[in-house]
Chains A and B, each alone.
Chain A
Amino acid sequence: MEKRNARQTRELVVPGDILDGTGMRPGENAYVLDGKVRASVMGVRNVFQNTVGVIPLRGGYMPTSGDTVFGVIVDIGPSNWLVDIGAPYPAPLHVSEVPWKVEFGDTSKYLTIGNVVLIKVLSVDESKKISVTMKDSGLRKIEGGRLVKISHTKVSRVIGKSGSMISMLKNMTDCRITVGQNGMIWVDGEDENADVAVEAIEMIEEQAQSGNLTDRIKEFIEKKIPQDEEDEYDDEGDE
C-alpha cells in the first residue's frame, strides 16, 4: 500500500490531450504531432523512462504473441477450428496445433462448438492474422468450472502486484483460477466458493480504478466465507 501512495499522479487523459511537449518519446497509445506527444485513447498517463504513453481504461482486446488466453469454439472446419478469443479477428486453431492426432474431417470428435479451450497466441502478423496453439504445458480443453468475462484492461488488477490479488483469491476461496490475457477467467471449485470468487472478480472489474482494492476484496470474501485460520493464505505460492 505504501508504494501506491508514492505514485499518486494518476492523470486521466482523453484522445488528443497533450502528454508531453518536452521531447519525450511516444509510448503505447500515443502519437506525435508538431513535436508534442498526444494521447490516442482514454486512459491514465504513464511515464516510463524516456517514453510517455497511456494505460487504456477501456477498449477491445488485441492479441500479442505469447498471450495465454481462453477461447470459445465458434466454428469447425475439416482441418481447423475457429476460436473466439474476444479479439476483432477470429483465431483459427489448426489440427497440427492440438495435442491429439486428428484425422482429416474428424475435427468435431475432439472439439465442438461451445467448447472452451485454453490456448496460446503464437503470432499475429501485420494484417492481424492470428495463429494459436494448444501444444504447450497447461494448454487444454476446459471441462467443468465456469468462465467469467471481464475487460482485458482489468486483467492486471485481478492478478495484482506480483500476483498478490490472484493468490489471495485462490487461497481464500479454495478455487482453481486461471486468468487469460483476453479477460476471460476460468474458476473451478465448490459451488458456493466459486460463486464468491466470481463475485469478487466482478467486484475487481467494477472497482479497478480505486485504491486499497486487495484489502476490500479480502474483507468481502471473509464476510462470505469464514476463514478458519487467520494466516491461512500466507505461505502458499501462485503459478
Chain B
Amino acid sequence: MSGHTDMVLVDENGLRIDGRTAEQHRPFKVEAGVLNNADGSAYVEIGKNKVLAAVYGPRECHPRHLQNPTKAIVQCKYNMQSFSVSDRKRPGPDRRSIEISKIISEALEKVVLTELYPRASIDVYIEILQANAGTRCAGLTAASVALADAGIPMRDIVPALAAGKADGHVLLDLNKEEDNYGQADVPIAIIPSTDEIVLLQMDGNMTREEFDHGIEMAVAGCHELYELQKDALKRRYSKRAEEESE
C-alpha cells in the first residue's frame, strides 16, 4: 500500500501482471490430513502462498487463567517462516503475527461449537511456508479445513479471500505487487451457509461503491474456495476407500 512504482499493475486490456482479469483469483490448492502427529491438518496454496495448518484438541487449556468455564477457547498461532519472504523475516512473534493470530482465532470461534467443550482449548498452528500477499486468508482457509479434519464440531468451514484496489481498479485476490503498490486491501472471511462475515479488515482507501463491489467479488470467490475445501476433506476418505477396494 505504501510504496510507489512505475509498474503497470492493470494494463489497457484490463489484464493484471500475472495475466488475470480483475475478477479472477489465483489458482487454489487444498489438501486435508497432510500431517500424521497432529489431530487434524491441512495444506493450502493460493497462488504462490504456501500454508500449513495443524490442529490439536480439544484439550485441557494450559494457562489456567485463559479457561472459560462455559465454552472452549480457540488459540491460534500464526507464524511466518524466516524463509517465507524474500528478505529473511526475523523469526518469532511480532506485532503483525500477533494481530493475525487474534483475528483468525476470533473468526474460528464463531464457527466452532465451543459450548460443547467448556474449559478446554483448541489449538491451531498456522505456518506460512511461502508468502505472496494474502497469507492471513490462506492461513484461515487452511485452519478451518484442519479443524474439520480433526473432527471438531463446527457450524461450517470458513473460506477467506481478499479484494482490493490497484491502479484504480477493484481487483480480487491481490498478489504481492498489487498489495505493495495498490491503494487498498480488504481481506474477508465468510460462513458460506449464511454469508455472515467473520473477518473483515481494510488497509487503504476505497469509495463505498468500490468497497461494495470488492466484497461482492470476494464473497463469490470464497464460495468457490469453499467447494475446494469440502472436496479436499471428502477426497481424503474416498481415496483411501478406493485403494483398499482394489
| Interface membership of A71, Cβ < 8 A | no
Neighbour of B237 across the interface among A12, A15, A31, A90, CB < 8 A? A12
A38 interface residue, CB < 8 Å from B? yes
Does A33 make an interface contact (CB < 8 A)? yes
Query: Interface majority SS on B: helix, strand, loop or mixed?
Result: mixed
Q: Decide if A127 is an interface residue (CB 8 Å cutoff).
A: yes
Binary A-proximity of B149-161 (CB < 8 A = 1, otherwise 0): 1111111110000
Identify B155's interface contact among A12, A16, A60, A153, CB under 8 A.
Answer: A16
Segment of B16-24, B53-61, B89-97 in the binding face? B53-61
CB distance from A153 to the nearest CB of B (A): 8
Chain A's interface: helix, strand, loop or mixed, by majority? loop
**A89 vs B40: C-alpha distance when bound (angstroms):** 19
Is A60's CB under 8 angstroms from B151's CB? yes
The answer to whether A15 touches B156 (Cβ under 8 A) is yes
Q: Which B residues lie within 8 Å of A224 (CB)?
A: none
Contact yes or no, B238 A12, CB < 8 A:
yes
**Is the CB of A73 closer than 8 A to any CB of chain B?**
no
B151 in complex: contacting residue of A57, A127, A210, A211, CB < 8 Å: A57
Asked if A209 contacts B58 (CB within 8 A), the reply is no
Among B115-123, B134-142, B198-206, which stretch is in contact with chain A? B115-123
Q: Mark A197-214, 1 if CB is under 8 A from B, else 0.
A: 000000000010111000
* 8 Å CB interface, A65-117 against B: 88-90
Chain B nearest CB: distance from A212 CB in Å? 9
Choose from B40, B118, B244 the contact partner of A209 (Cβ within 8 Å). Answer: B244
Whether the Cβ atoms of B40 and A38 lie closer than 8 Å is no
Q: Which residues of A contact B116 (CB under 8 A)?
A: 62
Which chain A residue lies CB-closest to B58? A88
* Separation of A15 and B110 alpha carbons in the complex (Å): 14
Q: Which are the 5 A-B pairs with shortest beta-carbon distances? A: A59-B151, A58-B151, A16-B156, A210-B244, A88-B58
Binding site for A on B (CB under 8 A): 39-40, 57-60, 69, 111, 113, 116-120, 148-157, 191-194, 229-230, 233-234, 237-238, 240-241, 244-245
What are 26 A-B pairs with beta-carbon distances under 8 A? Answer: A15-B148, A15-B153, A16-B154, A16-B192, A17-B230, A29-B153, A31-B113, A31-B155, A40-B113, A40-B155, A41-B148, A41-B154, A42-B149, A42-B233, A43-B151, A58-B151, A59-B151, A62-B116, A89-B119, A127-B69, A128-B117, A128-B119, A153-B151, A209-B240, A209-B244, A211-B245
